[in-house]
Every structure is written in C-alpha cells, then in structure tokens.
Structure 1
Amino acid sequence: MNKTKNCALAFAALGACAPEAQAQDIKLKPLIDARFRYEHVDQDGVADQSDAATLRVRSGVQASTGPWAALVESEATIGIDNHYNDGLNGRPLPLVADPQNIELNRAQLRYVDHHVTVTAGRQLLDLADQRFVGPSAWRQNEQTFDAVRVTWAGVPRLSIDATYSWSARTVNGIDGTPARPQSVPGDNWFGLASYAAPVGTLTGFAYLVDQDLASLQGFRLSSQSYGARFAGSRTIAKGWKLGYVTSFARQSDYRNNPNRYVASYYLAEASLSGKVLAATGGYEVLGADQGTALTSFQTPLASFFRFQGWASKFTTTPPNGLRDLYGTLGASWKANGPVSGYSVSATWHHFDSDRLSQHYGDEIDLLAQARIRRTTVAARLARYAADAFATDTTKVFLTLEWSLS
C-alpha cells in the first residue's frame, strides 16, 4: 500500500464517523520532535574516519473524537556534515546508517473502545522488549510498518496483541537500494498473549517474519520464532527493587527461505535499582545451527541499538551464533532548576560464539545525559575491541533532542 492510499485510508475512515463527530469535539494534537546528532566513527581497516552531523525533524497532527483518532506524521533527515558512508552513497568510510531522507513516517487510524484497540495504516510497532520487532528509534529514520494491529484486554490480567504487516518501512529512506531497500514486502504475523501475575508477566509469542524480497539476502532473513518471556520486579528493601527477565525461543526457516535450520534463543537478566544507583547483569544467546551464514538466530526487525553494544557489530548474527555476557552500572538523580535530571552509566559486553568456542571481542559503552525542560542532551562513547570477529572500532555520539510532548 503506497503513501497516498495510507493517508486516504486514515482520513476516509475518520470522515466515515463524521455524524458522531458532530456531537463531539474534535481535538487536535500537534506532533513535533527534533534531534541533532554528531557521530564520529574510527574503524580499523578503513583508512579514513566518518563524521556525520545530521538533523532529524518529525512533524504531524493527531485528530481525535470519541473512540476514533487519525494521525499523520512526516519525517525529514538532513545531512549537515556528510563525511560518512550512509549505506547508500558507497563512500569508502565507516558506516553511519542515517541517509538523508524525507518521507511519510506514519499515517494511521485508531479505534479504542470496550477493551479493544485497532490501529490500521503506517505505524510504529513496539512489541515486548523490541528484541524481535521495534521502531529502531536510535536511527534518525524510524522503522515503521504498514500494518493492522489489534489488542484486547477484556479479561483481568490477560491481554492479546496481534499484528499483520504487509510492509516493513526501513531506516534506509526514500533512496534505498535493492540491498538496502526503502521497504520490504511480505506477510508478517506477530502475536503475543500475556498474563500478569503478582510476581511478573508471562508472555507467549510468535513472530513470523516474511522478508519477501530476493535482493535482500535471497529471502534468507525470513523466519518463524516461537517462545515465551517472563518479566517482573519486586521490592526487596526500602528504596530498592529487584527486576528479572528470562526468555526462550526457537527459530526456523519460513516461507521462501532456501535455508533449512533450527536455532535457539535464551535470555536471563537481573537488575537492582534504588533511588540513585542501578545495576544490571545478563546473558543473551542467539544460537547457531551448522555454522552456515544466516542459519543462526536472526532478528532483522529488531531495535538493534538496544542490544549487543552501541558499536553495532552484531546487527546480523554471525554464522556461529552469538553469546553476550553483559553488565551495567548507572546512576540517575533529579535536580531543581532548568536541569531537571542527570544520568550516567557504563556497560561492558563480552562476546563469544555459540559454537566452536570463539571469543569475538569485548565492548565498553559509556553514557552521560541531562534533561533540560523539553530537551535531552547526551554524550556516548562505544569502544569495541576485536578478537576473532570484526575490527577495533570507536564511536562517539553527541545528541541534542527536543520534543513538544
């Protein structure tokens, strides 16, 4: 479905409920946010360094009346300093996947009533922890989906979340190439059923990913994953909370994927947080099958920046799989005055293969951040030290982000 059809769908449906709208006020909500980011990349094996200064602006409006809401939002990314490889321009520089772009980011219609929410059109999908499906919000061009999503919570503690998506709109933007396309068609089905107990929420899930584009790895990123996730927290002392997450899934080939494979996924994570200090430790495994390319556990629709380090060395799982042992120490505190809050953190990753006992490398990620009214200022450093996979890489990020909401 193209951009025009999506917009037509949203506004035609809103117009269909005009008789009801006459009896109710139509509320308009402006949507504006902007982010400037400078990203510097120094990567061994590449003679020159990348310097990417980009500005991303999203603007739109949401109109709502009663149970109906229609939303339209544009997205534009401008390159201020273009000394980098954006994935499309072919420059012999380290990759910073933020190409210049202007496009329709979202165009959706939503209905909410009687414990049911239905969203149709181009939309964000933020499912569970975004390990399988997410908006890739770190990239300047957001990942959205042409989809219909239905959620239901008509029974206490039980919820159902089901989505059919016929197109994934990637971070590559309007100038996408066959290997890095603007969008990927396919019959994608995502389903989650959750039960919230006092000790945590148990979720069963199914992610059927259909990457129906021959130029994109020859259909080899199509997969079906079934599993469960349990997440919860509890107070263990005054001012201290213990959090815990565990997950397991099995993945195999799907639809036109010519590979035949089965791979497993495991996650175990615990966190301890107080009023200021917080610590997290975890172990995540994306398993391998026989060591053939793209037969390890893959999550092509994930929000990758949230997982396995900010150096982004593992957006495609290596043939021998990946094991990530990680830990984070952080602190955050509120303040009076124009700066309302500060946070700092340090994260360490130890990367190994799932088979053949290879040590891929280690990574340190550092963050310092401050909130100034509606603006967030952040500085990040990522340092990947390679052993048996990829090359030494240092990344520096400086970000200034502003939102109307």
Structure 2
Amino acid sequence: MNTFHKMSLKFLAASVLASLTGSAFADSIHDALSNSTAYADFNLRMETADQDNALQDASALTLRTWIGFSTGSVNGFSFTAEVEDSRIVMGQDEFSVGPAGFNPGEYSVIADPETTELDQAYIQYKSDNFTGRLGRQVITLDDHRFVGHVAWRQDKQTFDAVSAKYAFSKDVEVFYSYLYKRNRIFAEAADLDSKDHIVHATYKSPIGKFAAYAYLLEVDNDTPNALDTYGVSFDGKMKGDSINWAYGAEFATQSSESGSGETATDFDASYFNAYVGATISGITAKVDYEVLGSDDGLYGFATPLATLHKFNGWTDQFLNTPVQGLQDLKFSLSGKLAGGKWIVAYHDFSADESTPGVDDLGSEINLQYTKKFDGKYRFGIKYGTYDADDFKVDTNRFWMWVGTRF
C-alpha cells in the first residue's frame, strides 16, 4: 500500500471517529441503518462471435449478479458496498478471455470471465457542495470517452481511489481523483496498480456545457511510464419549431512516455471529435466525426480508462488504437418503436496517418433494439458486422439479453 493511500485512510478514519463522538452516537447509527438501502441487479446475456480467421467461433451464455448496500448518513458520512458475480450458464463456455487465462487463443474473444469480486466498497462524506469518497468505486466522466465503468461487460470497471467533487455554484463543478488501482473487466488477475491523477472541471453556460480536463496516468509496474492527456469539450442543444438540434466538439493532446535509456519511447498525438444531430418527429439523425491521431504512424492516441465498447463500433475492433491512428465517420438514426428504442449506425474507418499497406480500416454496421417492461425488466437485442479492408478480419457479433433490478 503506497504512502498516499495510508495517509488518506488514517485521515478519513480520524474524521469518521470525530464525527461520531457525543451522546447522539447511538441514535445516529440507528438512523443510518434505518435509512439504508439494498439492491440487486441480474443480467443474463447470450453473445456469439465469428471472425474470418483461424479462431473457432465463440458463444457464451453468462449471468451477472450485482448485490449492493448503502447506509444512511451519519454527520455526512455513509458507506456503500457492492459484490459482483459472473457465471457461465448451461455450459455455454466456448469463448476465450486471454487476459484472464480462459481458453487463450482457442476461440474468438468474449470478454466475460467467470469471477466473484468486491465491486465497490467506499466511505463517502457529503455536504451541500462537497462529496468525497475513499475506496473502490465507479467513476464516470462526460460520455465515458476517457473515464468510464465499461458496464456493458459483465465484470464492470471500477477504481480503488480517493475522489472529491466540489460545486462552486449550480453551474461550476470540479472533480479530482487519485487512482491507485484499476479493476478492469478481465477479473482480478488482469487488474493494474496505478498512480493516476484525474482532474475534471465543468461549466454550464446559457449556450451549453463546457469541460476541461487533465488525465495524468501511470501504471505502477516499476518501469518509467506516463500517459498525459489534456483536453476541452463543448456540448450544446437548441430547440426549434419542428427540429431539435444537438451539437458539440472536443479536442485533446496526449504525450506517451515509456522506458528509459536507449529503449525509451516518447510519442505525441491529438484527439478531435465533432458531431451534430437533428430530431424530427421522434427520429434522430446524427453525424459524428472522431479522430484518434497518430505520431508518424508509430503510435495511436490511447484512452485506456474509457468505456471503449461504446465507441468505434460494437464489434470491438479498435479497443487499442492502431499505430496509424483512427478516423471514424459515423452516421446514425435512432427512435422509438413499440415502447422500445432502436438505433442503426454505420461507421467508415480510415487511418489518420497511413503506412504502407494500411490506409482503409474497413467499415461497420450496428443495429440495436431495447425495451423495458413494467418498469422492472429489460430486454435487448444487438448486432454488429465489421467489413475489413487493410486491417483486421471480417467479424460478426450478436447479443441478446434480459435483466431486472430490485
């Protein structure tokens, strides 16, 4: 346990003890327990994957269970814990999860290993304008492009962290977190110790929401490394007589350093995104152009803490940005049908900086329909097909799931 973590624990423990002294201690504990809440969430999902390569086609049927508990507040302090379990159902285990050591190199990847983990366990202090947390927690920022929980997978991503959020007003908010462990989606064997600093600020203006951030990441592996990203973004909306508009843009720069001496590497890349969407009679049409830049075809802009499945196609071809970088031009239509929601999307991929033989990175079509029943149950069906060109191989993935929460 690093020194920073030890000091944080001691400080918080002292604060909790101080807050609980006095004659009202017993009543406060009773009130906190009386106001506690518990929840459970179940997600049963079938997933298949076939790729035009030597790997065998994959199929999985898995059940993910979350069971959580949050106490009421005692002088602003509360406690939350959540356990997560993912199980293979009916022996449907023909898939590979390399980082977890499950059937490595045999089948196409379906990243849902069997695991039972303490998913969240944190102490929280909350006042009118301030919220602080210590322990294992979910952290999501903006649209999850840089920091997310990857809750699409059965084993979602959480962080062992100290975090703090302060609202200077209803329009201005600042968030900081120090992450000392990344609990990734591949079960505990693939978790990473880290020394990450997350700084994020937002301002809600009359014309839209502005954000500025600095993500200073370092894997704690006894090897010099740093991945530093600085960026700004804007998201706005405008209502018209017959058309509602949504629009935004984002820009970031990144430096990546690794190793020392003659083997050291040092790269720089940039990120750009711009989108515009229009909603007419309940149908939304959107165009989104995203560029994860390259450094002379040797390094691609990286977002290792992101909910990656949400971006650049659902067949997950670009979880690691190619060294040539990535340009993704996306067209989508979405709306409502029979009480549910549907979306159709098309991606056209190309290299940001081409190298010999690598320029056209293919295209992808995504389809999804989701629906909730009785406010308790959810159903979804989803399909992605990737058409390769200079990169990867043709890939098809299909999902169907049901779930409930109480």
Q: Same fold (TM over 0.5)?
A: yes
State the partner residue of 2:368.
Answer: 367
Report the Cα offset of residue 347 of structure 1: 0.5
How do 1:65-214 and structure 2 match up within 5 A?
65-66=73-74, 67-80=76-89, 81-87=92-98, 88-89=101-102, 90-174=104-188, 176=189, 181=190, 183-213=191-221
2-side partners of 1:21 and 1:289: how far apart? Answer: 59
Q: Which residue, 370, 377, 380 being the options, matches 1:378?
A: 380
Render the CA deviation track for 1:334-367: whole Å, top value 9, x for unaligned: x7xxxxx311110000000001271100000000
Render the CA deviation track for 1:130-178: whole Å, top value 9, x for unaligned: 111111111110100001111111234211111111111111113x2xx
Asked whether the 8 Å contact 1:187–1:209 carries over to 2, the reply is yes
Report the Cα offset of residue 275 of structure 1: 5.9
Runs of 4+ in 1 over 3 A off after TM superposition: 5-24, 254-258
Report the Cα offset of residue 8 of structure 1: 11
Percentage identity across paired residues of the two chains: 28
Q: Which residue, 249, 257, 268 being the options, matches 1:262?
A: 268
Report the Cα offset of residue 255 of structure 1: 6.9
Secondary structure of 1:390's counterpart equals coil
Q: Which residue, 231, 246, 250 being the options, matches 1:243?
A: 246
Counterpart residue identity of residue 127, structure 1? L
Report the Cα offset of residue 34 of structure 1: 1.0
Secondary structure of 1:305's counterpart equals helix
2-side partners of 1:287 and 1:318: how far apart? Answer: 10
Render the CA deviation track for 1:196-239: whole Å, top value 9, x for unaligned: 1111111111011112337xxx776x41000101112121225x
2-side partners of 1:164 and 1:226: how far apart? Answer: 16
Structure 1 residues 268 and 83 mapped into 2: Cα distance closer, same or farther (>3 Å)? same
Counterpart residue identity of residue 303, structure 2? T
2-side partners of 1:42 and 1:309: how far apart? Answer: 16
Secondary structure of 2:265's counterpart equals coil
1-side partners of 2:392 and 2:255: how far apart? Answer: 26
State the partner residue of 2:330.
Answer: 326
Report the Cα offset of residue 48 of structure 1: 2.0
State the partner residue of 1:342.
Answer: 340
| Aligned positions, number | 383
Report the Cα offset of residue 74 of structure 1: 0.5
State the partner residue of 1:305.
Answer: 309
Report the Cα offset of residue 60 of structure 1: 1.8
1-side partners of 2:86 and 2:297: how far apart? Answer: 38
Secondary structure of 1:260's counterpart equals strand
Asked whether the 8 Å contact 2:55–2:108 carries over to 1, the reply is no
Counterpart residue identity of residue 68, structure 1? F
Report the Cα offset of residue 259 of structure 1: 1.8
1-side partners of 2:81 and 2:389: how far apart? Answer: 47
Report the Cα offset of residue 23 of structure 1: 4.2
Unaligned runs of 5+ in 1: 336-340
Range 393-402 or range 275-284, more displaced? 275-284
Report the Cα offset of residue 21 of structure 1: 5.3
State the partner residue of 1:36.
Answer: 44
1-side partners of 2:44 and 2:18: how far apart? Answer: 39
Counterpart residue identity of residue 146, structure 2? F
Q: Which residue, 392, 395, 398 being the options, matches 2:397?
A: 395
2-side partners of 1:39 and 1:283: how far apart? Answer: 29
Counterpart residue identity of residue 271, structure 1? G
Report the Cα offset of residue 276 of structure 1: 2.5
Counterpart residue identity of residue 95, structure 2? Y
2-side partners of 1:311 and 1:383: how far apart? Answer: 7
2-side partners of 1:10 and 1:29: how far apart? Answer: 23
Report the Cα offset of residue 109 of structure 1: 1.0
State the partner residue of 1:338.
Answer: none
Report the Cα offset of residue 273 of structure 1: 2.6
Secondary structure of 1:128's counterpart equals coil
Asked whether the 8 Å contact 1:209–1:254 carries over to 2, the reply is no
1-side partners of 2:325 and 2:379: how far apart? Answer: 35
Range 363-372 or range 40-49, more displaced? 40-49
Counterpart residue identity of residue 260, structure 1? D
Render the CA deviation track for 1:285-304: whole Å, top value 9, x for unaligned: 00000222xx2100111101
Report the Cα offset of residue 279 of structure 1: 1.6
Report the Cα offset of residue 110 of structure 1: 1.1
1-side partners of 2:25 and 2:109: how far apart? Answer: 49
Counterpart residue identity of residue 201, structure 1? K
Asked whether the 8 Å contact 1:212–1:256 carries over to 2, the reply is no
Secondary structure of 2:230's counterpart equals strand
1-side partners of 2:169 and 2:278: how far apart? Answer: 31
Report the Cα offset of residue 193 of structure 1: 1.5
Range 111-120 or range 250-259, more displaced? 250-259
Q: Which residue, 45, 51, 54 being the options, matches 2:53?
A: 45
Report the Cα offset of residue 22 of structure 1: 3.6
Counterpart residue identity of residue 360, structure 1? L
1-side partners of 2:53 and 2:312: how far apart? Answer: 22
Report the Cα offset of residue 274 of structure 1: 4.8
Structure 1 residues 53 and 22 mapped into 2: Cα distance closer, same or farther (>3 Å)? same
TM-score (norm 2): 0.88
Aligned CA-pair RMSD:
2.4
Asked whether the 8 Å contact 1:208–1:254 carries over to 2, the reply is no
State the partner residue of 2:238.
Answer: 234
2-side partners of 1:140 and 1:15: how far apart? Answer: 37
Secondary structure of 1:237's counterpart equals coil
Report the Cα offset of residue 99 of structure 1: 0.6
